[in-house]
Amino acid sequence: MARIIGAIATSHVPSIGGAIAKGLQKDPYWKPFFDAFDPVHDWLARNKPDVAVVIYNDHGLNFFLDQMPTFAVGAAESYTNADEGWGLPVRPPYIGDSELSWQIIDKVMAQDFDLVTCQEMQVDHAFVVPMQLLWPDGGANAIPAVPVTINSIQHPLPRAERCFHFGQAIGRAIESFPRDCKVVLLATGGLSHQLDGTRAGFINKEFDLWCMDKIVNDPQALADLTTKEIIEKAGSQGVELMCWIAMRGAMQGHVSAAFSKYHIPVSNTGGAVMVFDHQPAARALAAE
């Protein structure tokens, strides 16, 4: 059976992709940021996941304001990237895992989440930048992935608690997948940032650190936030926190933080990376 071995949550700021493209990882400005990923690479080398389920928000590349699904799942053999206007080099296609995609689609639909299924899907910086950060060899060497998107652009947005339940449905779908494989969840986005309006540049370190604490042992506290509260506390783009909340919902066994780093600012964003170990519920019970 498939097993969720853990999760990695990270910000997905496009300028990180720009720094990678220019080879600035050792530049004094970027070094502390990129160095934080060494322990993440060590975790990946130790745990060797076979497939990644990537929960993120599309920013207008695959979906635009005219057609914006609340929840969508990719079901392709591969996913192309394209120029979004950030000036980042277009990445080679990422490999899919359509068998796991259809497992997630079937089993999540059976739990009453009415998904959009995408047999073709372009992935934007919110997918590509974290993949580059976690698997710097990238492209065809990156892990097979299932992209899952949550609308964080076009209001009304799904409530945080709905995202938590969506994640729980994904978790059940993965753990009932008959293939013997190790799954890592990725959540991308956040933490606090606001890119427009009179609060452009807004970052809330106190709230970000509170979220990084609650996501481990009290995710319900995050699920209880209203969309308005998240926007007030984390900025209008801080709603990307929903991707983290869904990721956490998918882990229903024992969760512990293996690594955590907060770095401000990354461009306009409270930059965060966290790694979680997950012991699925049956194993967690057996160990007690």
Q: Known catalytic residues? A: 125, 193
* Least distance from ligand DHB to the Cβ atom of residue 27, Å: 18
Chosen residue from 2, 8, 9, 13 binding ligand DHB by CB under 6 A:
13
> Minimum distance between the CB of residue 186 and ligand DHB, rounded to whole angstroms?
15
Shortest reach from residue 265's CB to ligand DHB, in Å: 7
Q: Specify whether the CB–CB gap between 89 and 128 falls below 8 A.
A: no
CB of 60 to ligand DHB, least distance (A): 10
Q: Report which DSSP code applies to 122.
A: B
The minimum distance between CB 195 and ligand DHB, in angstroms, equals: 6
CA distance 241 to 254: 21
Given candidates 132, 269, 273, 274, which one binds ligand DHB under the rule CB under 6 A?
Answer: 269
Q: Please give the helix or strand (H or E) that residue 78 lies within, else none.
A: strand 78-79
Calculate the CA 253 to chain-centre distance: 19
Look up tokens 């394209």; give the residue. 82
Binds ligand DHB (CB under 6 A): choice among 4, 5, 12, 248 = 12
Q: Is residue 268 close enough to count as binding ligand DHB by CB under 6 A?
A: yes
Q: Which of 267, 277, 281, 284 binds ligand DHB (CB under 6 A)?
A: 267
Bond prior to 156 in cis (omega within 30° of 0) = yes
In whole angstroms, how close is the CB of 218 to ligand DHB at the nearest point?
25
194 near ligand DHB, rule: CB under 6 A: no
Nearer to ligand DHB, 30 or 113 (CB): 30
The Cα–Cα gap between 190 and 187 comes to 9
Distance, CA of 164 to CA of 248 (rounded, Å): 7
How far is the C-alpha of 265 from the C-alpha of 242, rounded, in Å?
A: 20
Binding piece for ligand DHB, criterion CB under 6 A, among 11-19, 104-112, 178-186, 246-254: 11-19
Four-point Cα dihedral 172, 174, 179, 181, nearest 10: -120
Q: Which is closer to ligand DHB, CB of 101 or CB of 194?
A: 194
CA 113 and chain centroid, separation:
19
Give the count of beta carbons closer than 10 Å to the beta carbon of residue 197: 9
Q: Can you tell me the distance from the alpha carbon of 121 to that of 133, in angstroms, rounded to the nearest whole number?
A: 21
Judged by CB, which is closer to ligand DHB: 103, or 132?
132
Decide whether 16 or 121 has the Cβ nearer to ligand DHB. Answer: 16
Binding flags for ligand DHB, 82-121, as an x/- string (CB under 6 A): ----------------------------------------
Q: Would you give the binding string for ligand DHB spanning residues 22-61, x where CB under 6 A is met?
A: -------------------------------------x--
Q: How far apart are CA 234 and CA 232, in angstroms?
A: 6
Torsions phi, psi for 219 (to 5 deg): -65, -20
Which residues are near ligand DHB by CB under 6 A? 12-14, 59, 189, 193, 195, 237, 267-269
